[in-house]
Structure 1
Amino acid sequence: MSTQFEITYTFNAPRELVFKVFTESKHLQNWWGPKGWTFHVAKADFRSGGVFHYSQKPADGDIMWVKFVYSEIVAPEKIIYTSFFSDEEGNIVRAPFDANWPLKTLNSMTFIEGEGTTTLSMIVAPESPTEEELKTFEASQEIVQEGFTGTFNQLSEYLTKK
């Protein structure tokens, strides 16, 4: 097992477009998150030091708040941000699905230009995890990978309409 995992996904769209739909809430609300969930953007400030704060809600469950804090943005090549579950005000809270999920994860996304395609390489790693959080993170890698793959499938479908 590893203390980080990598997800690679290739989109049939140019890099500038893929980067744009990752950075504008008017696009993100159409594809981000689990399929069939309600998505609401509370704050979108896409810059180094900026914040993306949103809620998502399954049809049969409770609302969850998530916050990203961007540390580095190099358009259209790279986005690095810290992600954590939050309350409506943006304060860090424990993950609603597992109290031992790491409080914060560091997410590094690199967008690689192909011939009319874009390959996204995303690395997710827990930030300063406890031993218990690290075990939970390692045990959840397959589930997290499936979640991101489902989200990226939705983005791939969304890009065909752009």
Structure 2
Amino acid sequence: MSREREFVYLLELDAPRELVWKTWTEEEHLKQWFAPAGFALSVAKLNVVSGGIFHYCMRAANGVEMWGKWVFREVVAPERIVLVNTFSNKHGNPTRHPYVADWPLEILTTATFADVDGNTVLTIAWHPIDASPSEQKTFDSMHDAMTQGWNGTLGQLEAYLKGRNQGPETN
């Protein structure tokens, strides 16, 4: 079996770490940025503690829905979140990727939030859990697409943070 490759995404955000943490852990913030462009996010459940879940729906303007679920393994505010990320149905049961049949069912995600001179360096690391050889090959072949996806989503986070940093209040 080939050695598995981890996907790592790194971004420096012009915002304090405490605010970036809130954007990842509070519903009112997540609804503003965590979905592909043109999608609205609704939250079925959010409990950001070890063993808690974030169950959500991303809805396109044409009504198409994609459900997802995070199961939190470790939450160390405001430094690190470790979670298992899956696509799901509206009941929270894991499902396959809606467009990529060989996508791994579960992805271990580690997001770290480092304070660097008042800015936040966000690092996201993805690693498939118990992937079959074909799932691992698909994951390994899609790093460019994953980068594009995170560019879009985190571009929305950057715009949201910029708007919040220009106001009189940042919490």
Q: Is the structural similarity TM-score above 0.5? A: yes
* Partner residue in 2 for 1:115: 117
AA partner of residue 36 (structure 1): G
Q: Which digits, 9 at most, give the CA deviation of each residue in 1:9-68, with x for residues without a partner? A: 010011111011110011000001211112111100111100000011223462110000
* Partner residue in 2 for 1:151: 153
AA partner of residue 71 (structure 1): R
| Partner SS for 2:104 | coil
| Partner SS for 1:148 | helix
Taking structure 2 as the reference length, the TM-score comes to 0.91
* Partner residue in 1 for 2:134: 132
* Partner residue in 1 for 2:167: none
Cα distance between partner residues in 2 of 1:60 and 1:101: 25
Shift of 1:3: 2.0
* Partner residue in 1 for 2:53: 51
Q: Which digits, 9 at most, give the CA deviation of each residue in 1:142-162, with x for residues without a partner? A: 111111111111111101222
Task: Using the aligned pairs only, state the percent identity.
Answer: 40
Q: Which runs of 4+ in 1 moved over 2 A?
A: 57-62
AA partner of residue 64 (structure 2): D
The range that moved more, 106-115 or 55-64, is 55-64
| Partner SS for 2:121 | strand
- Cα–Cα, structure 1 residues 145 and 130, in superposed 2: closer, same or farther, change >3 Å? same
Shift of 1:139: 1.2
The range that moved more, 73-82 or 57-66, is 57-66
| Partner SS for 2:86 | strand
* Partner residue in 2 for 1:96: 98
Aligned residues: 162
| Partner SS for 1:160 | helix
Cα distance between partner residues in 1 of 2:61 and 2:138: 26
Shift of 1:140: 1.1
- Cα–Cα, structure 1 residues 61 and 131, in superposed 2: closer, same or farther, change >3 Å? farther
Taking structure 1 as the reference length, the TM-score comes to 0.96
* Partner residue in 2 for 1:84: 86
Cα distance between partner residues in 1 of 2:79 and 2:86: 23
- 8 Å contact kept, 2:7–2:126: yes
* Partner residue in 1 for 2:15: 13
RMSD: 1.3
Cα distance between partner residues in 2 of 1:145 and 1:71: 24
* Partner residue in 1 for 2:64: 62
